[in-house]
Amino acid sequence: MSESTPFPTPDGVLRQRSRGIARRAVLGTAVTASAIVATHGVPEASAQTATVVIKALPIDRANILAGSRFDFRVEVAGAQPDRIEITVNGQDADTFFKGANPVRTNEIAGKSGEVTYRNVTVANPGPVAVQVIATVAGRSYVDTFTWTVLRMGAGQARNVILFIADGMGYPTITATRIVSRGITEGKYDGFLNMDRMEYRGTVTTSGYDALVTDSANSASAYATGHKSVVNGMGIYEDNTKDPTDDPRVENIIELAKRTRRMATGLVSTADITDATPAAFAAHTRRRSEQAFVASTYLEDGHRPDVIMGGGSRWFLPKAQQGASADDRDLVAEFRAAGYAVAATRTELRGTPASATKLLGLFHTGNMSVWYDREETKNPNVLGKFTDQPSLPEMTGRAIDALATNPNGFFLMVEAGSVDKQLHPMDWVRAVYDNIEFDNAIGVARRFQEKNPDTLIIVTADHSHAMSITGTYTPYEGKIGPDAVGTYEQSAFPTFTRKRGDGFPDSPSTKTTLAVGWANHPEYYDDGTTVWAEPLGPSIEDPQVKGTYIGDPKRAPSGKGVLMPRTVPASVNSEVHTADDVPVMASGPGSEFFNGLVDNTDLFWGIVASLGIDPLSPNGRSPMGKITGGRFGDPANPASRPHFAKP
């Protein structure tokens, strides 16, 4: 998946997030029910001043796929677990979730009571009302939560390929189109593969804990149809210390395998255990648990058939310079499980054409970005990893392996380093990786031409505050903001394109893009330098530990302009935004991705397009339409016929 959290540490984020949720719960979620309090003989006036935090997971307004598996948990601050009563649609929860064997705990001794039901399902479509009554210090408190259970109609797609360019906002797409295709007299000289999709929509990105998301949380929404929290994937955050025991929700790979025996795959230019790919197969509150993620990829139920990207260190023991869980040799275990294994482009090309299970690990960490791998080939950057495959190559090989499954396949392809280059504000490297991403989409489009039952979705998980402010033409010794041409002075860029592969001949040209940033640390900007090696914007202030100042290396010969920070001094890179991101789709079911949609709706569009139905013996919905409720944009005329009223 994608970016590393620049600040604070993942544990710090979790502590801060927990405090924020508790505060909001006291003010809004926890309710003192005067009628119930009065029943127990407590004066109503005094009851109105009391508050108790009641938390139910899944959260209020969650959508749940009929027959899908999830964990249900209730936490009540200050309550003993045997003083928590739960009803679901008017039935005692033990009766409603028959055979679930709830576990009652005091996770925080004397301060919290919990009731947990593992691996439950709800079969009947429609609204589900959850009521919690907790007795604390002789007073009773009540809160209600509502879920909507949806059952899919018959789908038309056999295969789904989901492309995610991590951090790709609208400005990144615009810059990619300008650099890759060119623009003359205000008209583009060509369009990207992603531009040519039949449907285009807009995705909101927030999680349930914060306005601004990270890649784990946002990818989890795509993979499960449920909101999560920063750093979390496939879970709802609970109050335990263990990051792997939080309430789980079934993800698309698990559903595809359990209900339809589909082939599944994950491809990324980042560590393949990083947030975005991991969210489609793993369950953890802490995205940094990459060794744990690697080990879970081997587990039945969510083992992808194709796994390709970086991050080999998480699969190898210490003796092989690895950092795997329990010092296991997971590469050997995958090989023993029937996987063809590749560590280089050459080895990938040499895997048997008949191989349907592939493990490709091409770097110990994130794979090198396109500009360093194919353009400069700088040995200081590449090190020993001089033979890495491209994202289009990995995409094509993954499709070849997965397409042999008669039940169809689900494949997620991520351009992880678009985000990883936007964080240090290296727009050239980010755009080059986005061009590579678009070329990978072209590979899938060519497959789709021969296999029209394939749905292709292209999106991002979140955006960055990059903006094209004009063009940059140094003249009369001017640099930085003084050399930016605005309005009629913003001459069209002068990139040349004789290569024929979508990339410009050189990123250095007389007139280039002027790119600005809205949320950044202090940094130097000279406008035109394309760094020979990846370079961060800031360094730690030697005078004040834990704060950052502009790195003078980004001001060659002292020509850079110092740009003051717009974020706290403790932040050392550009950070995510709450901006909406685009979604484009082509193929059967693509109409679901039109209009304004929540990030969880991408999951629903996928399962609706496939017609996944866990209640049917073959996993295929016999229903004529979606029942139980709605998802997506109800104002979207293309999608409206696919919805049934609750």
Percent above pLDDT 90 for the chain: 81
Q: Report yes or no: 106 and 19 within 8 Å, Cβ to Cβ.
A: no
What pLDDT digit, counting tens, does each position of 430-451 carry? 999 999 999 999 999 999 999 9
Look-up of token digits 């925080």: 108
Q: Which residues contact 352 (CB under 8 A, 6 or more apart)?
A: 340
Domain 159-465+577-610 has CATH 3.40.720.10: yes
Residue 443 · residue 455 · CB < 8 Å: no
Residue in the structure block whose two tokens are 């293309």? 638
Q: What is the mean pLDDT of residues 88-93?
A: 98
Domains 31-150 and 159-465+577-610 share a fold: no
Give dist(CA 84, CA 141) in Å, integer: 10
Which pair of structure tokens corresponds to residue 414?
């991520």
What's the CA gap between 99 and 114, in Å, rounded? Answer: 18
Order of all β-strands in the sheet with 466-472: 484-485, 466-472, 512-517
Least confident of 299-313, 332-346, 496-510: 496-510
What is the model's pLDDT at position 482? 86
pLDDT at 590 over 60: yes
Structure tokens at 556: 């060659």
CB-based burial, 597-607: b 16+ in 10 Å, e otherwise: bbbbbbbbbbb
Whether residue 553 is predicted with pLDDT greater than 50 in this model: the reply is yes
CA-CA distances (angstroms) from residue 629 to 86, 157, 319?
24, 22, 54
What is the average pLDDT across 377-405?
A: 98
- 215 as an active site residue: the answer is yes
User: Is there a contact between 468 and 171 (Cβ–Cβ < 8 Å)?
Assistant: yes
With CA atoms as reference, report the closest residue to 397 among 357, 453, 367, 452: 357
Cα–Cα distance measured from residue 514 to residue 472, given in angstroms and rounded to the nearest whole number: 5
Whether 316 shows a pLDDT value over 80: the answer reads yes
636 band by pLDDT with thresholds 50, 70 and 90: low
Report residue 105: phi and psi, to 5°. Answer: -135, 160
Band of the pLDDT at 634, cuts 50, 70, 90? low
Catalytic residue among 215, 228, 490, 609: 215
Q: What is the pLDDT of residue 29?
A: 35
> Dihedrals φ, ψ of 562, to 5°?
-75, 120
Q: pLDDT at residue 15 above 60?
A: no
Contacts of 223 (CB under 8 A, 6+ apart): 233, 234, 251, 252, 253, 279, 280, 603
Task: Tell me the residue type at 100.
Answer: A
Distance CA 507, CA 494 (A): 10
CATH architecture of 31-150: Sandwich (2.60)
Contact between residue 378 and residue 429 where contact means Cβ atoms under 8 Å apart:
no
Give the residue with greater pLDDT, 262 vs 47: 262
The strand pairing partners of 159, in sequence order, are: 454
pLDDT higher than threshold 80 for residue 197? yes
> What does the pLDDT read at residue 633?
62
Q: Beginning with the edge strand found earlier in the chain, give each strand of the sheet holding 199-204 in spatial order.
A: 340-342, 358-361, 306-310, 263-271, 409-415, 159-165, 454-459, 581-586, 199-204, 595-598
Measure the CA–CA gap between 419 and 6, rounded to whole angstroms. Answer: 12
The predicted-structure confidence for 234-252, as pLDDT tens digits, reads as follows 999 999 999 999 999 999 9
Least confident range of 350-364, 475-489, 500-514, 532-546: 475-489
33 — pLDDT class (breaks 50, 70, 90): very low
Domains of the chain by residue range:
31-150, 159-465+577-610, 467-517+520-573
- Cβ atoms of 492 and 189 within 8 Å: the answer is no
Between 75 and 480, the higher pLDDT residue: 75
Q: Is the pLDDT of residue 641 over 80?
A: no
Residue 9: predicted pLDDT: 28
The verdict on whether omega for the bond into residue 304 sits within 30 degrees of 0, i.e. cis, is no
Name every residue whose Cβ is closer than 8 Å to that of residue 494 and which is 6 or more positions away in sequence. 509, 510, 511, 512
Share of the chain above pLDDT 70, in %: 90
pLDDT score recorded for residue 209: 97
Q: What is the pLDDT of residues 368-386, one digit of tens each?
A: 999 999 999 999 999 999 9
b or e along 138-158 (b: 16 or more beta carbons within 10 Å of the residue's beta carbon)?
A: ebbbbbebebbbbbbbebebb
Give whole-number Cα distances, 364 to 315, 391, 543, in Å: 9, 17, 34
Residue reference for tokens 């650099």:
179
